[in-house]
Amino acid sequence: MPMRYLVLADVVESLIGAAYIHGGFALGYDCAKLFDLGLKWLPPPQRLEMFFARIEPDTNIPPALCYVEQMIGYTFEHKILLLEALTHASYQQDAGTTSYERMEFLGDSVLDMIVTDYLYRAPGKYYSPGHLHLRRSAVVNAHFLAFVCLSTSVKFDAVLPRFVDGNLVDGVDVQDISLWKCLLHSNPRVMEDQANTHSRFRKRRDEIQDALQHDKIFPWAALTQLQAPKFFSDIIESVVGAVFLDSHGDINIAREVVTRLGILPVLERIVKDEVDVWHPVSRIAQWAGKHGKKLEFKFERERGAIKCNVLVEGKVEAFAVDQYRGALSKDEVKLIAAEEASRALRFRNAHMNQEVHRKREKNVKGKKSFS
């Protein structure tokens, strides 16, 4: 595409952005409408009215949906929208709705808008487009959203019969229900993926949570090691999309749900504490380019395992070993090794800076005592 067209496209997008910043969603909509864009434009209330006129009434709604509403802090007017957000394409029973795929597409855009809006207005910051993209990617990528899905749950009191002194009486037992367990599907593979992913999640949950709350580096490697199938992150996006629709396009209500899910609090901490969100492979490649160093990743396979060595100027700076499960495991072990190397180099650079600072202070004191 010729450069002049790219520049004109940027101008259109920036004008729509300026209208949104100045007058909110309504003015942004009017500005976009001005450019036509080959779409049939209707006022949002009218389009939503047409949408709600087409949806099926709430019938045969699973009682478990009330627990999902408790998890996200929002009660649906049209519960069939939440049902759609939790219906996998494999589901074979008649749920009175389609799968979540369209809802997930909408929720992806709504989440992007909420995150971008926060970063653009972040107090005391003025991020470049590249840095806006880096920070947005940290909290809208599939690995992080899968962790959010696996972490979202609610406790409830279950009445369970039990024997006491030979008599059958009702007892109350506190149980936990997770968001991912509310997915409607008819695929044994999905059930197997759920069990395996949850097992990995239990092992790494505390490590990832601690890193998200306290570490200076975003835990890309640990999140990737969850090996979560895409449907986990799809659930989060489709639920956000369902909330946006049910609330008649109220972005503030969608933002409250995104906050309740823990996505915005992590983003706020990234901004506040200036967390390093560079992807580890990109981070170490940038470091090598900046310092004129030769960087290599070398792989070794042995006895069902794969090892990745990170070499800087031919010297092993860090390595990682993991079980070999095909091409994806090669990418994962490279990511882990790159993160280990970037941490080591970060520590070394900090130590070198401290030494330089100490020497400077010593020289200054020496000059003062001589004079």
pLDDT of residue 271: 97
pLDDT at position 230 is 96
Give domain 43-277's CATH superfamily: Ribonuclease III domain (1.10.1520.10)
Q: Which amino acid is at 276?
A: D
Q: How far apart are CA 114 and CA 32, in angstroms?
A: 18
Q: Are strands 153-164 and 315-323 parallel, antiparallel or unpaired?
A: unpaired
Give the pLDDT means over successive 10-residue stretches in the chain (371 positions).
Answer: 71 93 90 90 85 81 91 96 95 84 96 97 93 96 97 79 64 80 95 96 96 94 93 98 95 97 98 94 90 93 89 92 78 89 71 46 50 45
Query: Where is 160: in which H helix or E strand?
Result: strand 153-164
pLDDT given at position 64: 85
Cβ atoms 333, 322 nearer than 8 A: yes
pLDDT for residue 354: 46
Q: Where do the domains of the chain lie?
A: 1-41, 43-277, 281-370
Q: What is the pLDDT of residue 265?
A: 98
For residues 333 and 337, what is the distance between their CA atoms, to the nearest angstrom? 6
CATH for 281-370 is 3.30.160.20
- CA nearest neighbour of 205 among 151, 252, 153, 249: 151
What DSSP letter does each residue of 242-292 carry, written as one string? HHHHHTTS-HHHHHHHHHHTTHHHHHHHHHHTT-B-S-HHHHHHHHHHHHT
The amino acid at residue 242 is A
Task: State the Cα–Cα distance between residues 21 and 16, nearest whole angstrom.
Answer: 9
Taking the model in full, what pTM does it have? 0.84
Tokens representing 149?
A: 């899905």
